[in-house]
Structure 1
Amino acid sequence: MACILLTGGAGYIGSHTFVALAEAGHDVVILDDFSNSDPGVVARMGRVAGREPTVVRGSVLDEALLGRVFAEHRIDGIIHFAALKAVGESVERPLDYFSTNIGGLMTLMRAARAAGVWRLVFSSTATVYGDPGDRAVPETAPRSHTNPYAFTKLTCEQMLEQAAAAEPWCVGVLRYFNPVGAHPSGLIGEDPRGLPNNLMPYVAKVAIGALPELQVFGDDYATPDGTGMRDYVHVVDLARAHVASVEALLDGRAHTLNIGTGRANSVLELVEAYGRAAGRALPYRVVGRRAGDVAITYADPSRARAELGFEATLDLDAMCRDSWRWMRAQASGFRLNDPE
């Protein structure tokens, strides 16, 4: 059993990873400033995991606070989620993204080095591949960036590579494709503020009646139904990948890995699957393509299978069912006895 510091641990992926770590027998300390998460999630995380999380409220940019966290807890490893993550917002506010995402990692690493903690899982993204074309993307694909958010993630990856070459860092870089879904309990899930930037949370809001319809950007791609295809991975699978990653680091096995299913589903396949979960057809309207979108992008996940023994197991129907359960639970104030 290890003690893991989870920065941004009250967020969407962080909350699910807390549950997975607790189920694996690890102790967890969460650091979160709740700038993009609801403090009420803490109690629900405790209900799911069967034990209350230890939470320190504060910013990853506060080096003095981080020093106290390392002094007061015997931290064995770190999983670093705390970051800004909206692509469109990053175009509007690039300096905020540079400060939080790049500066936050630098501050965290300085505090960790002072405490002698050298094992760190970094939450990265498939956007570091830029425009990879219509293919399965391996970890060896060229890296680039098309927006400030991707720039910060790529810069952080390069910082970690440079640091590991000079100091005894043991780093796991996980490049996510498209995390979706929610915990099957219905108690934790994705709750974006304002208009969702990603497909499934937008579809979920259409299904619950908060938005009138989905806009489908193009139906003339060279795909079976004409709509773009992406690799969607269930957040519960993604959380399991983080447990496997940090455990590998504790054994001294550094890695850089894609986390996806290796399959691509189209926009309309996702809409239809969500409609099955919600029990009704969901309204959508086809509009013009968005600049920069490609027809198909999906992960080559073979390295994660070989190095971590990790394989995503939950399919698109499970992703949609669990998301819908979460949406219904939210709408009921988490009072559903049977969220099905």
Structure 2
Amino acid sequence: MSSKHHKIRVGISIGDFNGIGPEIILKSLKDKSITEFFTPVIFGSGKLFTYQKNVFKLQTNFNYINTATEAQSGKINMVNLTKENSNIEFGIPTEESTKMAIASLDAATEALLKNEIDVLVTAPINKDEMMKYGFSHPGHTGYFEEKAQKKAVMFMVTDDLKVAVSTHHIPVAEIAANISKEKIKKQVKQLVTTLKEDFCIEKPKIAILGLNPHAGDGGAIGREEIEIIEPAIRELFDQDIMAFGPYPADSFFQPEKYRAFDAVLAMYHDQGLAPFKTIAYQEGVNYTAGLPFIRTSPDHGVAYDIAGKNLADETSFSEAIFTAIKIYNNRTEYRELMENRLRPKASHLKNGVDEDLPAAAE
């Protein structure tokens, strides 16, 4: 079905319910007209969300279902993972809230892989607590890579700024050893594909940051730029990929600099995410790029310090929902265009005569 005639089914995992996950979900869906744009499918608990909507004085109504296949257009659907009461302790990660976060993520991902939902938006999780109960990844990215059996790129996006990171959640002491020329080339190529297919940018320009202060200062403060990053950029450019750099990270994130590029590849987590979260503030979205399915999340964490106080701002979560929808539509349109472009032209031959040609003069 063309995306133009398909109301997108947005799956939502609830994160740690003792954090701000349910609050920002409820606030993002509080407008009664929201279901005119997409079909929400929350993987959680009816009793849990009923309790929380009363805490935040919201009038949200749910359509309770057993599986995502039962989701109804025009309603906020709740896949009821448990009918038991939840022991809510705002601001404190508990075994119950952590296990529910894992169960919600697993159920939502299974539905995504089965095409029972079209995109997935994940509320914030407590990674450390989840790893205590069998979750084997230090974040969502590794989890989705395992599910897809494909490497992904952590891509933080707004309309004006898009930042990817070459290394994800690893100790700072291990960053240099986890950077290589081939890895950078592969990530940049993936970013180019993502920008074309998912963001409709025809000829993307990618800025690549250096690893060391002042991008190594010509080798005086490290040689990774000379030995790894610069050769990668040269080889990419020789392949007609618009890759530039390496740029010193301390001075790159000025509006007149970063806006000259369609995306930025930072070498490590904080190098890219610290300026991104400062610039994007509440509008940033975390997109797991390079996978066969679409997953987004807000660019913030569980925020235990404000949980239950009705202070959480839902802007980033709402942006994550609508970014996922835009990407789905863009990707669908791109694939339809490519299909049509590659499809052989139908023959107009009839009795050996091409009817599109003018008739020969008699």
Question: Quick one: higher RCO (CA 8 Å, sep 6+), 1 or 2?
Answer: 2
Q: Which has the larger radius of gyration?
A: 2
Normalising by structure 1, what TM-score? 0.36
Normalising by structure 2, what TM-score? 0.35
